[in-house]
Amino acid sequence: MALLFKNTKDLEAKIDNYLDLVIKGGFLFKQGVKYYLEGENDEFEKRIESIDKAETDADHLRREIETKLYSETLIPESRGDVLGILEACDKVLNITAETLMQFSVEIPYLLPELKSKYLELTDASISALEEMVSAVRAYFRDITKVRDHITKVQLYESESDKIAQKIKHIVFRTDIQLSQKMHMRYFALHIETIADEAEDLCDRLSIAVIKRFI
């Protein structure tokens, strides 16, 4: 399958750099949650600063890509799909950064026995994000591989849903204040949402793939 960008190496490089920032955001999120759960506040706050910078850099780069697509009239037949995919990636990265920031702002109490479950949930959701990025890269480089990555996103999203449900099941059967229960549920939900949004992007990507074959 031919590359989508045959004669636009600069644009391809910018999109690669943008996707690298999405991956970086996911990596920083995993580290941030780990350090939060371990009580390593200094390292946690460093990850907050780093993910905020990654999000800002990604926003600037996405705007550069959008400007280049329009100003140079590149890939007009696929431009709308590409822009939609990048905007969906941006949404996933934003939710990832915002969720980590909420840990810093709200300082949720998490039951000690549930910390491993929150780490599992984080791993599953960020794995979905990483496979989402691989699916997007495949869309530009080798469209025949997109489906495999989308399937993995779906599997990780399903796993994140199961883990989140286990967390909620345990939380609401524990003898603690209702406000604490709601807080723990809230953070499980928002970590899970990263995987949900990754799956939503893949739904859009599936349609874009079909259009490439028409």
Distance CA 127, CA 151 (A): 12
pLDDT classification of 194: cutoffs 50, 70, 90:
very high
Domain count, the chain: 1
CB-CB contact of 59 with 130 (8 Å): no
Q: What would the two tokens of residue 111 be?
A: 């039951």
Domain of 172, in residue numbers: 9-213
151-191 per-position pLDDT tens digit: 999 999 999 999 999 999 999 999 999 999 999 999 999 99
Distance CA 132, CA 150 (A): 7
CATH number at residue 201: 1.20.58.220
Q: Is residue 51 part of a domain?
A: yes
Distance CA 44, CA 49 (A): 9
pTM reported for the whole predicted model: 0.92
143-153 per-position pLDDT tens digit: 999 999 999 99
CB-CB contact of 77 with 6 (8 Å): no
Q: Is residue 38 part of a domain?
A: yes
Q: Is residue 4 part of a domain?
A: no
CB atoms within 10 A of CB 6: 9
Q: Is residue 2 part of a domain?
A: no
Q: Is residue 86 part of a domain?
A: yes
Q: Is residue 133 part of a domain?
A: yes
What's the rounded mean pLDDT across residues 117-136?
98
Sequence-distant (≥ 6) Cβ neighbours of residue 47 within 8 angstroms: 28, 29, 31, 32, 35, 100
Sequence-distant (≥ 6) Cβ neighbours of residue 77 within 8 angstroms: none
